[in-house]
Structures are given as C-alpha cells and as structure tokens.
C-alpha cells in the first residue's frame, strides 16, 4: 500500500482553522485517501472508529462495524444475522446481506437519528452488499482495510463524488506512547492497550447470579470494548450482537445511564409493529422518516412540531398509547451494560434494572462496592468487576 507521511486537510476542527495538516508519527500514515478530502474531525473519527472495529473483530472473531460521530460511537455491530423485525426497523427489507453488511446494518440501525452524517468503519473488506446499504444513508466518510472494486465505484458516486473513502493500512501498528499538543503543552502517556477477554469477565463476577451465557458474554465484552473509544463519562448497553444505547460525555454517571437507557428503549420501540406500520407518504427520505419516528415515540410534541410531523404521513398515525408502550418495553430484558469506571451509587443499578438490563460490567474499586453489588443481587443481575478503568478524553 502506497501511503504518505503528511496529508494536508481541508481545515482543522472548524472551517476557520486552516491550514491544517496530519503528520505520521512513524514513516507513514495508517491510512490512505481513496476518494474525497478530509477535515480534522473526519480523521479523528476515522482513527477511533477503525481501531474500535479492529479490536472488536479480533476479540470476538466476527466482522464488526461502527457508526461514529464526534469521537464516540452512535452504534457498533457484529456480523450476527438480523431477525425480521430488525431488518424492517433498519430499512433493510429483503436485501441479501453479507456478514460485513450485516455488521454495518446493526451499527447504523442502533441510533438512526444520531447516525446522520457519520463516519463508518468496517473491520473487513467492504463488499458490494455493504456499499449498497451505505450509499442509501447520509454519511460523511468510511474507513476499512479494503474495498471490492464494485463497492468502491458505488462509494465514489456518493455526495456528488466527494464522499470520503479511507483505506486503513493494517501493517502500521499502534505506537507504545501517544502525545498530544494542546494549548501550548504536550501531554505524553503510554497508549491505552488494555485488552479484556470473556475469561476476564467471567473471572470478575461478584454477584450471587454467576450464569453468563455465551451470547451475553459476547455482548458484555462488545459493550466494554466500545468504552475505550467513547468519550467519558460513558455507559454502553448492548443486546443481540450490537450496541443499542450509548450515554457519553456526561459529568455524572447516572446521566450517562439515563441517556444510554433511553436510547436502548427507543431502539426497542422502533421494532414494534405500530412503528413498522406507520403510514409514511410516498417518496419520503430516510432522514425524514427517522425524524418522524423519533417524534412519534416522544412523550409529547409542540403544536408546531406536530403540524410539521403530520406532513410525513399519508394519513394520521394511530397513537402509541402509554399502556401499549409499557407492555412493549416490558419485553425488554437481558441487555448488557458496561461502565467505563466504577459505579459509585446504586442508582445506576436501579435505573439499569428498570429498563431491562440483566448483566453489568464495571471497573469496581469504589468504597460503595458492597452497596452496589447488593443492589445487583436484589434484582438478580449478574455483575462483573474488571479492575480496569477505560476513560477516554
């Protein structure tokens, strides 16, 4: 792979921060540009998301994909076959999916509202099936270890020919030390190369419930690995081979939990027959449909929001009653939650149990560990303590 050690960017973090440049720490950059012109945010999201999917694939032995924005994943998924209701919820329909395309469908479908204008990362070569899904979505960039010729041609037509396509150089390893120049100072530290395994999760179980099924262990590890690439404080929730809720960048852990939990509930509500039967008008775009579903699932709308919302449909949708909503959400149980640091109070467990979390991974080491573990025992949850903090800043 012919790569370079220096790359001029369109601009830095903001358009007025120009000129901007990316310099390789070693002999060459860990990627090359196949199409488009990157900005600094494109590069940051590409680097973080690429290393996330690479670590997920190596740890779990499956193709992985991520939808990434502003240094945190909106979703991440594995190449685990999709059930019919998720195919409908993710707008896949009857399209035949390869494993890497399935991973991408899961990553994009976790939070379709937040995935708008994302950077996509895939752990495997992008095939035509994955590219065909990607070209239908509003996205700014993709990074992968390679692209089938037909897939690359599809992607080069996106965004009027300006879609950013980056080919990751798998031969460029990560440095042992990372440095950042910020506001006149240089920060230097060892790279966060912590690698947890399913065996580590099993070894750290601290609750009376010690039954950790294989698929759940996979989800718990997926959620935990994702924390390394999510801005702290952060909580991730996984189910069925994908992230379904990400709460990140909050100053209190309970707000992270509330954010991740609400997104997990919205993910589940999107699967309901009422949502899948919404009478959308002909010709509505995917983003318009996503926004309309989000408003439908809200508890309330302003009169102006409702007026605009109704234009998305051929007829007025039947309301999703509180009783129907509650009954549908009551089916949600057994999700896996991971915390990037110790859980300081039992309120995290109370909230997690209320939304269907059955398995929890956390760092441990708080003076209130006994109280938090006892809360998990009250709900019959399984909790494991890893002893590894995974802050990302």
**Candidate list 35, 42, 233, 291, residue with the active-site label:** 233
Collapsing DSSP to helix, strand or coil, 44 comes out as helix
Per residue in 182-201, pLDDT tens?
899 999 999 999 999 999 99
Tell me the domain boundaries of the chain: 29-173, 187-269+329-385, 277-319
**Candidate list 35, 69, 158, 291, residue with the active-site label:** 69
Query: Which pLDDT score is estimated for 3?
Result: 67
- Here the tokens at position 381 are 């949850």
Query: Which pLDDT score is estimated for 216?
Result: 97
Query: Which pLDDT score is estimated for 242?
Result: 98
Torsion (CA) 224, 118, 141, 13 in degrees, nearest 10: -90
pTM of the model: 0.96
Burial of 304 (0-12, 13-18, 19+ CB in 10 A): exposed
Q: How many CA atoms lie within 13 A of 215 on its CB side?
A: 9
Selection from 386, 326, 391 nearest residue 200 by Cα:
386
Q: Based on the residue annotation, tell me whether 16 is a catalytic residue of this protein.
A: no
The CATH architecture of the domain made up of 187-269+329-385 is: 3-Layer(aba) Sandwich (3.40)
Q: What is the mean pLDDT of each run of 10 residues along the chain (393 residues)?
A: 82 95 91 96 97 97 97 97 94 91 97 96 98 96 98 96 97 90 94 96 98 97 98 97 97 96 96 95 94 90 92 94 94 96 97 97 97 98 97 94
CATH of 277-319, one of 1.10.3470, 1.10.287, 3.30.70, 1.20.140: 1.10.287
Query: Which pLDDT score is estimated for 1?
Result: 54
Judge contact between 248 and 256, C-beta under 8 A. Answer: yes
Same fold, 29-173 and 277-319: no
Cα–Cα separations (whole angstroms), residue 293 to 1, 21, 225, 262, 287: 43, 40, 30, 15, 10
Q: Based on the residue annotation, tell me whether 156 is a catalytic residue of this protein.
A: no
Q: Which fold, 29-173? A: Cytidine Deaminase; domain 2 (3.40.140)
Query: Which pLDDT score is estimated for 93?
Result: 81
**Residue 140 neighbours by CB distance under 10 Å:** 22
Query: Which pLDDT score is estimated for 72?
Result: 97
Judge contact between 104 and 78, C-beta under 8 A. Answer: no
Q: Based on the residue annotation, tell me whether 393 is a catalytic residue of this protein.
A: yes
């Amino acid at each position: 792979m012919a790569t370079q050690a220096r790359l001029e960017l369109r601009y830095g973090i903001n358009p007025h921060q120009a000129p901007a440049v990316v310099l390789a720490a070693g002999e060459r950059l860990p990627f090359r540009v196949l199409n488009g012109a990157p900005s600094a945010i494109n590069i940051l999201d590409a680097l973080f998301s690429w290393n996330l999917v690479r670590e997920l694939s190596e740890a779990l032995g499956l193709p992985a994909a991520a939808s990434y924005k502003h240094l945190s994943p909106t979703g991440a998924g594995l190449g685990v076959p999709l059930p019919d209701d998720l195919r409908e919820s993710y707008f896949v329909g009857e399209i035949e999916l390869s494993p890497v395309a399935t991973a991408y469908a899961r990553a994009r479908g976790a939070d379709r509202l937040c995935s708008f204008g994302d950077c996509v990362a895939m752990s495997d070569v992008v095939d035509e099936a994955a590219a065909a899904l990607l070209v239908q979505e509003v996205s700014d960039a993709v990074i992968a270890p390679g692209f089938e010729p037909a897939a690359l041609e599809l992607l080069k037509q996106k965004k009027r020919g300006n879609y950013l396509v980056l080919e990751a150089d798998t031969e460029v390893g990560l440095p042992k030390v990372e440095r950042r120049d910020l506001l006149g100072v240089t920060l230097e530290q060892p790279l966060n190369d912590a690698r947890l395994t399913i065996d580590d999760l099993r070894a750290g179980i601290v609750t009376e419930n010690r039954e950790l099924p294989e698929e759940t262990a996979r989800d718990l590890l997926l959620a935990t690995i994702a924390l390394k690439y999510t801005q702290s404080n952060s909580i991730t929730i996984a189910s069925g081979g994908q992230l379904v809720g990400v709460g990140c960048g909050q100053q209190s852990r309970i707000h992270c939990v509330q954010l991740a939990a609400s997104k997990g509930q919205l993910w589940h509500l999107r699967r309901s027959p009422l949502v899948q039967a919404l009478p959308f008008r002909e010709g509505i775009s995917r983003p318009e449909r996503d926004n309309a579903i989000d408003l439908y699932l809200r508890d309330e709308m302003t009169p102006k929001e409702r007026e605009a919302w109704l234009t998305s449909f051929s007829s007025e949708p039947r309301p999703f009653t509180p009783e129907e909503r509650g009954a549908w959400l009551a089916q949600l149980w057994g999700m896996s939650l991971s915390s990037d640091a110790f859980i300081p109070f039992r309120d995290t467990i109370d909230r997690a149990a209320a939304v269907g979390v059955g398995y929890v991974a956390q760092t441990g080491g708080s003076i209130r560990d006994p109280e938090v573990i006892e809360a998990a025992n009250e709900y019959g949850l399984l909790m494991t303590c890893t002893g590894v903090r995974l802050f990302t800043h």
